[in-house]
């Protein structure tokens, strides 16, 4: 575990430093949109009930506030069209984007009117897998659905405070089974390494997943970012990274015969709807309260307060709260992380994007990965070994935790 602990420590320091954003940041202009289509991420921060372990930006659902929020979102989305940006893929995440299915259908109609969209992915929860929610969603043209399950074990679902709201593991499995074939991709979000999750609980989850033979499974390691760390410790206990490694090994071993590995923690039978918008495209735009954008080598964060977001959009002001311009070295390292998430890195692409000397910025990373047995080299292609896949889980865990820490930090700036 020496390399694993070292990697956790180094990447935590690195993410804390490099993901910081500043409210004094002034973005470069929007007048030169990239020629190629980008990914559009849209954040719907409302949930009917909040889960105690969840570190994403979300608030309790209030219908009238959510209605106003949608109007503001429509405005922000139209601004990107007026700036000449083109998107071909949309990821609507949350929170729970399906809380208002009618408004969600309006949102989908708008993006389809503005751009030639190929794929629209939406996140949801098991209580919305019923005709009242699913019919308008299917009719709108959403073709990829991601359902948050976390576990099929009833005792764990109770501890996660999801049983009373989303039903038993068996009920959820039945709904997922009934839904198969309805969407191009049906993804199941699972989580592992809860302190009181036992080997038997994990094995049960894996057996249900293998029985279901769904299109895709995304298996997140528990990420205890600052906002939920104390809650996780008091409700479930201390997070154990040795167990994380062991559980990850079990997950890979069990799912591998049934699914292909689309990324370090995404297992697919259909080529992949990779969990987070940041992975598929090296640049993306985020709309909505608390959404992040990465363009022109700059990371930009929208305001978190929903009321402030609505006010700004009503006044036709920018919703931007903070940001940071990355150096070329930062951009190369960011692409390194995202490239490797899918299992390999092509140096030719990096050099084409940032110049022939750009790989100098990765010297330490390559040395570490080679010594730790994380990569093999095939010409200009760096491929992750089995060990390397787990190193990537660590890096991505620290990256997502870092992003969620920034979210919390921005939330505090907003409230000041
Ligand atoms: C942010 S939720 C949004 C979609 C939906 N509300 C749900 O519960 O699935 C997406 C997924 O993030 C994952 N997630 C939430 N909090 C997490 C945490 N602290 N660590 C790791 N994964 C987490 C869960 O697997 C969840 O399904
Ligand atoms: S896990 Fe999903 S339902 Fe639970 S609080 Fe987070 S976003 Fe909401």
Asked whether the beta carbons of 123 and 148 are under 8 A apart, the reply is yes
Encoding tokens for residue 128?
Answer: 């919305």
Q: What is the pLDDT of residue 68?
A: 97
Q: What is the pLDDT of residue 355?
A: 82
Encoding tokens for residue 287?
Answer: 């709309």
pLDDT digits (tens, 9 = 90+) for 197-207: 999 999 999 99
Match 């990821």 to its residue by tokens: 91
Residue 270 has pLDDT above 70, yes or no: no
**Exposed/middle/buried for residue 187 (C-beta within 10 Å: 0-12, 13-18, 19+):** buried
Cβ atoms within 10 Å of 100's Cβ, excluding its own: 21
* Distance in Å, CA 99 to ligand 2 centroid: 12
Q: Which residues line ligand 1 (CB under 6 A)?
A: 47, 53-56, 94, 96, 123, 125, 148, 150, 189, 191, 220, 222-223, 228
User: How much is the average pLDDT of 289-309?
Assistant: 91
What span, in angstroms and rounded, lies between the C-alpha atoms of 381 and 87? 29
pLDDT digits (tens, 9 = 90+) for 66-92: 999 999 999 999 999 999 999 999 999
Q: Is 21 helix (H, G, I), strand (E, B) or coil?
A: coil
Q: What is the pLDDT of residue 411?
A: 59
Half-sphere exposure of 375 (CA within 13 A, CB side): 21
406 versus 176: which is more confidently predicted?
A: 176
Q: What H or E segment, with its residue span, contains residue 112?
A: helix 101-114
pTM, two decimal places:
0.92
Closest atom of ligand 1 relative to the 150 alpha carbon: 25
Q: If you take atom 16 of ligand 1, which residue's CA is the nearest one?
A: 54
Asked whether the beta carbons of 374 and 384 are under 8 A apart, the reply is yes
Encoding tokens for residue 157?
Answer: 């679902």
* Distance in Å, CA 71 to ligand 2 centroid: 23
Q: What H or E segment, with its residue span, contains residue 97?
A: none
* Distance in Å, CA 28 to ligand 2 centroid: 34
Q: What is the pLDDT of residue 225?
A: 81
Q: If you take atom 2 of ligand 2, which residue's CA is the nearest one?
A: 95
What span, in angstroms and rounded, lies between the C-alpha atoms of 79 and 50? 31
Residue 56 has pLDDT above 50, yes or no: yes
User: How much is the average pLDDT of 342-355?
Assistant: 77
370 backbone dihedrals φ, ψ, rounded to 5°: -65, -50
- Identify the nearest ligand to the CA of 93 by its number: 1
Q: If you take atom 6 of ligand 1, which residue's CA is the nearest one?
A: 96
Strands 216-221 and 185-192: parallel
258 versus 3: which is more confidently predicted?
A: 258
Closest atom of ligand 1 relative to the 232 alpha carbon: 19
User: How much is the average pLDDT of 264-271?
Assistant: 81
Cis amide linkage into residue 81, ω under 30° from 0: no
Q: What is the pLDDT of residue 278?
A: 43
Q: What is the pLDDT of residue 352?
A: 81
* Distance in Å, CA 49 to ligand 2 centroid: 7
Q: Which residues line ligand 2 (CB under 6 A)?
A: 47, 50-51, 54, 56, 58, 94-96, 125, 148
Closest atom of ligand 1 relative to the 224 alpha carbon: 19
Vertex 98 angle, CA 396 and 201, to 5°: 50
Residue 279 has pLDDT above 50, yes or no: no
Find the helix packing angle between 386-415 and 328-341, rounded to 10°.
Answer: 130
- From start to end of 2-127, where are the E strands? 38-44, 46-47, 59-60, 87-94, 119-124
Q: What is the pLDDT of residue 276?
A: 44
pLDDT digits (tens, 9 = 90+) for 5-42: 777 877 777 777 777 777 777 787 766 788 889 999 99
Mean pLDDT, rounded, of the chain: 88
Through-space distance between the first and last CA atoms of the chain, rounded to whole angstroms: 41
pLDDT digits (tens, 9 = 90+) for 175-196: 999 999 999 999 999 999 999 9
Strands 216-221 and 344-346: unpaired
* Distance in Å, CA 310 to ligand 1 centroid: 25
- Identify the nearest ligand to the CA of 231 by its number: 1
* Distance in Å, CA 386 to ligand 1 centroid: 25
Looking at the chain, the whole-number percentage of residues with pLDDT higher than 70 is 94
User: How much is the average pLDDT of 204-213?
Assistant: 95
Q: Is 196 helix (H, G, I), strand (E, B) or coil?
A: coil
DSSP state of 410: H
User: How much is the average pLDDT of 329-358?
Assistant: 79
């Amino acid at each position: 575990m020496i390399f694993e602990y070292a990697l956790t420590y180094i990447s935590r320091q690195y993410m804390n430093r490099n993901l910081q954003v500043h409210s004094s940041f002034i973005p470069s202009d929007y007048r030169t949109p990239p020629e190629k289509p980008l990914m559009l991420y849209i954040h719907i921060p409302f949930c009917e009930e909040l889960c105690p372990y969840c570190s994403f930006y979300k608030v309790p659902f209030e219908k009238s506030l959510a209605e106003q929020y949608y109007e503001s979102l429509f405005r922000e989305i139209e601004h990107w069209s007026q700036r000449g940006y083109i998107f071909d893929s949309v990821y609507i995440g949350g929170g729970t984007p399906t809380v208002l299915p009618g408004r969600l259908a309006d949102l989908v109609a708008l993006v389809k009117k503005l751009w030639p969209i190929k794929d629209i992915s939406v996140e949801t929860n098991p209580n919305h897998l019923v005709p009242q929610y699913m019919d308008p969603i299917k009719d709108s043209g959403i073709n990829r659905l991601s359902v948050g399950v976390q576990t099929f074990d009833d005792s764990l679902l109770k501890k996660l405070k999801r049983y009373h709201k989303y039903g038993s593991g068996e009920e959820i499995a039945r709904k997922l089974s009934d839904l198969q074939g309805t969407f191009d991709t049906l993804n199941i979000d699972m989580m592992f390494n809860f302190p009181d999750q036992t080997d038997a609980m994990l094995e049960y989850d894996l057996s249900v997943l293998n029985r279901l033979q769904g299109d895709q499974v995304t298996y997140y390691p528990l990420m205890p970012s600052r906002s939920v760390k104390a809650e996780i410790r008091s409700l479930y206990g201390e997070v154990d990274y040795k167990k994380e490694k062991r559980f990850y090994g079990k997950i890979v071993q069990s799912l591998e015969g049934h699914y292909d590995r689309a990324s370090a923690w995404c297992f697919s039978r259909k080529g992949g709807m990779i969990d987070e918008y940041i992975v598929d495209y090296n640049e993306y735009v985020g709309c909505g309260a608390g959404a992040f954008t990465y363009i022109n080598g700059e990371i930009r964060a929208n305001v978190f307060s929903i009321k402030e977001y609505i006010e700004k959009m009503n006044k036709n002001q920018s919703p931007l709260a903070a940001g940071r311009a990355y150096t070329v070295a930062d951009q190369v390292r960011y692409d390194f992380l995202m490239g490797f998430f899918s299992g390999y890195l092509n140096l030719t692409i990096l050099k084409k994007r940032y110049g022939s000397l750009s790989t100098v910025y990765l010297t330490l990373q390559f040395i570490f990965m080679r010594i730790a047995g994380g990569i093999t080299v095939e010409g200009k292609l760096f491929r992750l070994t089995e060990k390397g896949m787990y190193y990537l889980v660590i890096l991505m865990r620290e990256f997502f935790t870092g992003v969620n820490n920034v979210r919390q930090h921005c939330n505090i700036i907003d409230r000041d």
